[in-house]
């Protein structure tokens, strides 16, 4: 009896991890494929989990959509979550800042004009933001007319992205492949 109980707890734990990691609604059939179970068995287990979450008043709930389930936050916790995100959102980088940071990380030291040419738009604002956040710094000046400033990433950049050095950045090919795989995954889901 205890072995079956542990098996059930372990299965629930795995399903919880799958729902958490996936983020979006996840089909019972997909969970069943991973756990070698039928969609009906998966649905029954997830319904039990949803009851447990509700009875315990946990901060997470399971929402059901057609033949899928999703792990989400409890609606009545929205005020606390919105305060958290309102405060931490200030630290987030925009897509243009992330794009600029990636160019500086991979191509640096690099001038603003070089970044602009690669992006196809002006990057002054993004570079200013990155410098204020301590992720980018001046790395001297280029020996050319106008002596443009060179930019490079900082130690703080390495710390934030958990890198020992810029050599730990994934190769351009690996990034390209990951983007391709993500785009393929989206089109498969549509």
Residue with structure tokens 């059901």?
Answer: 64
Contact present, 112 and 127 (Cβ < 8 Å): yes
More confident residue, 171 or 27: 27
Instruction: Output the pTM of the full model.
Output: 0.49
Contact present, 62 and 46 (Cβ < 8 Å): yes
Residue with structure tokens 């969970």?
Answer: 31
Which pLDDT score is estimated for 6? 45
Which pLDDT score is estimated for 5? 44
Contact present, 125 and 136 (Cβ < 8 Å): no
Other CB atoms within 10 A of residue 71 CB: 23
Q: Is 26 helix (H, G, I), strand (E, B) or coil?
A: strand
Which pLDDT score is estimated for 187? 52
More confident residue, 163 or 15: 15
Which pLDDT score is estimated for 88? 54
Mean pLDDT (whole number) for 40-67: 92
Mean pLDDT of all residues belonging to the chain:
86
Q: Which stretches does DSSP call E strand in the chain?
A: 26-27, 60-65, 68-73, 110-111, 136-141, 149-153
Which pLDDT score is estimated for 52? 93
Dist. CA 58–CA 73, nearest whole Å:
9
Which pLDDT score is estimated for 80? 86
Mean pLDDT (whole number) for 126-139: 94
More confident residue, 23 or 149: 149
């Amino acid at each position: 009896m205890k072995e079956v109980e542990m098996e059930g707890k372990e299965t629930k734990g795995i399903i919880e991890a799958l729902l958490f990691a996936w983020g979006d609604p996840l089909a019972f059939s997909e969970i069943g494929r991973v756990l070698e179970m039928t969609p009906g068995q998966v649905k029954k287990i997830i319904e039990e989990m949803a009851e447990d979450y509700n009875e315990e008043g946990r901060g997470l709930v399971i929402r059901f959509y057609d033949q899928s389930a999703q792990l989400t936050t409890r609606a009545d916790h929205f005020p606390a979550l919105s305060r958290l995100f309102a405060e931490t959102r200030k630290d987030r980088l925009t897509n243009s800042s992330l794009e600029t940071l990636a160019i500086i990380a991979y191509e640096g030291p690099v001038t603003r004009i070089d970044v602009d040419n690669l992006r196809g738009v002006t990057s002054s604002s993004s570079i200013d933001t990155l410098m204020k956040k301590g992720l980018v710094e001046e790395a001297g000046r280029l020996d050319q007319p106008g002596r443009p400033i060179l930019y490079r990433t900082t130690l703080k950049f390495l710390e934030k992205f958990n890198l020992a050095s810029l050599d730990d950045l994934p190769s351009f090919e690996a990034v390209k492949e990951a983007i391709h795989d993500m785009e393929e995954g989206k089109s498969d889901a549509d």
